Structure 1
Amino acid sequence: MDDDVGDGRAGRFGGRVALVTGAGSGIGAAVARRLAGQGARVFAADVDGTAVAAVAEELPGAYALTMDVADRAQVDRAFAESTAVHGRLDVVVHAAGVDDPVAKEWIAEALLDDRPPEVTARLGDDAWGRVLRVNLDGTFHVLRAALRVMVPRRSGAIVTVGSSSAFDAVTGYPHYAASKAGAHALSQAVAKEAIAFGVRVNTVAPGPTDTGMAARTPAALRRGFADPRVRPYATPEEIAGVALFLASEEAANLVGAVLLANGGRFTV
């Protein structure tokens, strides 16, 4: 264990140790790259071991971890492995999440047929459970593991990646909206507890973002998200910029915040 990582790495996160979930692609990969570029020692974690290993290879001093956030034992093991290297974690960004491609197809078919989507009555227990296990249970597993590392040191910043869908629920997408709304409330509840121990928890809630998940969205549904009055799909790098702000000392007075990053599609 090496508790001293002050090796002269320059940048806003110089000398910090960070763990990023969902780092194999999309927002998580963008966060990992930005953290490393700003001086952090990064542990990049993802359920796709091959993808996250490729991301970690790009980053100086980074480690790749294969981890399914829905699996409590895998999360605890990954946090133990990362903590064993430097003795601490200063930043955790939880970007792992899943969508439901089948439900998206049902919504797209309804749009093309000019009829209301019928999803909830067709939604199986497995589809419901998968989205809730990853997006909500996974957030709990990561928050709990992070606090177990950070609370004894009375220091740390955690950022969870939610979704604007928690506020402006997409018709026919109840499980995703519920999972993200639950993750927001969970993060805020934990934030009020954790700040007493010097640990900040905040959330960024993206709108449509040009990730691999978005690329799998049917064209009809993507067109439905298009609106010339607002900014187009965000880039993963833009959302990563918000996440890094929340993780930085510049956001020292933000606790339990949910920052909308939806290009002006709506406000709350």
Structure 2
Amino acid sequence: MNQQEAPAGRFAGQVALVTGGGSGIGAAVARQLAAEGAARVHVADLNLPNATAVADSIGGRAHAVDVADSAAVDRLVADVLADGDRLDVVVHTAGVDDPDAKARILAAQESGDPVDVLCELDDEAWRRVCSINLDGTFHVLRAAVRAMRPRGGGAIVTVGSSAGFDTLVGYPHYAASKAGVHALSQSVAKEVIAHGIRVNTVAPGPVDTPMAARTPEAVRKAMEKSGAIGYASAEDLADTICYLASPTAKNIVGAVLLSNGGRFTV
């Protein structure tokens, strides 16, 4: 089901926040939320011009945010509440990969040598991936729950990765950060359902986004061949995410939903 065919009104009158909304999966989610009746979609991204372009196209509001900065995330949610005094849906898609590690994977693939990433992985590269992917998810979950709890409800969807289950050779920091997103989200889901707040996670396989475009072509082709279906589109993931965020999924709490084109099951 694509955005144009989606049933109208699942998010009628609701206020939504999408992090990483300036491109890729986040932008597709923001557009679908607006198309399905959201009264206001707040589009947050490290790249403010990108966020502004998406927000302007759907009548939303753009924000600049670095999700690794907890105070910045708190200010973002405070701004959302100040704009409309409610927050019903939060979709957290902001995240990063590591182009240097991908280049090393490619070099090993071309040379036939074993992959050598771990011994060359410095503290800065480790912290960059973990601070944005895992710490950022914690910051967004905490701020969102604080905003939603007084109203007694809400829906939050985080984005993990199939790499958190089927770990990639040469990608230890990314796999660890996304496995952490899964466990963190599930733990929070069990805690906050008592307040009417549903938390779920989608775990994509390869998705055709600007981040994926930085993957070396040979590595990309190998990943594309690894499943029954090739790279998913951002709109494919938006469909899944919006389902989890919608009342249609009212009985789904703490799920980590694979969306990986049949690469593996758990």
Structure 2-normalised TM-score? Answer: 0.96
Q: What is the aligned partner in structure 1 of residue 203 from structure 2?
A: 205
- 2:160 aligns with one of 159, 162, 181: 162
Q: What is the aligned partner in structure 1 of residue 51 from structure 2?
A: 52
Q: Which amino acid aligns with 1:264?
A: G
Q: What is the aligned partner in structure 2 of residue 26 from structure 1?
A: 24
Inter-partner Cα distance in structure 2 for 1:28 and 1:90: 17
- 1:257 aligns with one of 227, 230, 255: 255
Do 2:189 and 2:254's aligned partners in 1 also have CA atoms closer than 8 Å?
yes
> Which deviations, in whole Å up to 9, do the C-alpha atoms of 1:155-177 show, x marking residues without a partner?
10000011000001110000000
Displacement of 1:214 in angstroms is 0.5
Displacement of 1:85 in angstroms is 1.0
Inter-partner Cα distance in structure 1 for 2:249 and 2:52: 30
- 1:105 aligns with one of 100, 103, 106: 103
> Which deviations, in whole Å up to 9, do the C-alpha atoms of 1:195-253 show, x marking residues without a partner?
00000000000000000011000011112102275101000000010000000011000
Displacement of 1:11 in angstroms is 1.6
Q: Which amino acid aligns with 1:115?
A: D
Listed as ranges, the matches of 1:209-228 within 5 Å are 209-227=207-225
Listed as ranges, the matches of 1:93-132 within 5 Å are 93-132=91-130
How many residue pairs match? The answer is 258
**Shift in alpha-carbon separation, 1:95–1:170, aligned structure 2, 3 A:** same
Q: Which amino acid aligns with 2:145?
A: L
Identity of aligned residues (%): 62
> Which deviations, in whole Å up to 9, do the C-alpha atoms of 1:141-199 show, x marking residues without a partner?
00000000001111100000110000011100000000000011000000000000000
**Shift in alpha-carbon separation, 1:87–1:229, aligned structure 2, 3 A:** closer
Q: What is the aligned partner in structure 2 of residue 142 from structure 1?
A: 140
Q: Which amino acid aligns with 1:123?
A: L
Displacement of 1:12 in angstroms is 1.3
Q: Which amino acid aligns with 2:94?
A: A
Q: Which amino acid aligns with 1:59?
A: I
Root mean square deviation of aligned Cα: 0.9
Inter-partner Cα distance in structure 2 for 1:42 and 1:26: 16
Inter-partner Cα distance in structure 1 for 2:50 and 2:56: 10
Q: Which amino acid aligns with 1:197?
A: H
Inter-partner Cα distance in structure 1 for 2:190 and 2:141: 13
Q: Which amino acid aligns with 2:119?
A: A
Inter-partner Cα distance in structure 2 for 1:263 and 1:93: 22
Q: What is the aligned partner in structure 2 of residue 3 from structure 1?
A: none
Inter-partner Cα distance in structure 2 for 1:197 and 1:52: 31
Displacement of 1:114 in angstroms is 1.5
DSSP-derived class of the 1:165 partner: helix
Q: What is the aligned partner in structure 2 of residue 238 from structure 1?
A: 236
Q: Which amino acid aligns with 1:267?
A: T
Inter-partner Cα distance in structure 1 for 2:224 and 2:82: 46
- 2:83 aligns with one of 82, 85, 91: 85
Do 2:206 and 2:224's aligned partners in 1 also have CA atoms closer than 8 Å?
no
Displacement of 1:115 in angstroms is 1.9
Q: Which runs of 5+ in 1 are unaligned?
A: 1-9
Q: Which runs of 5+ in 2 are unaligned?
A: 1-7
Inter-partner Cα distance in structure 2 for 1:114 and 1:208: 23
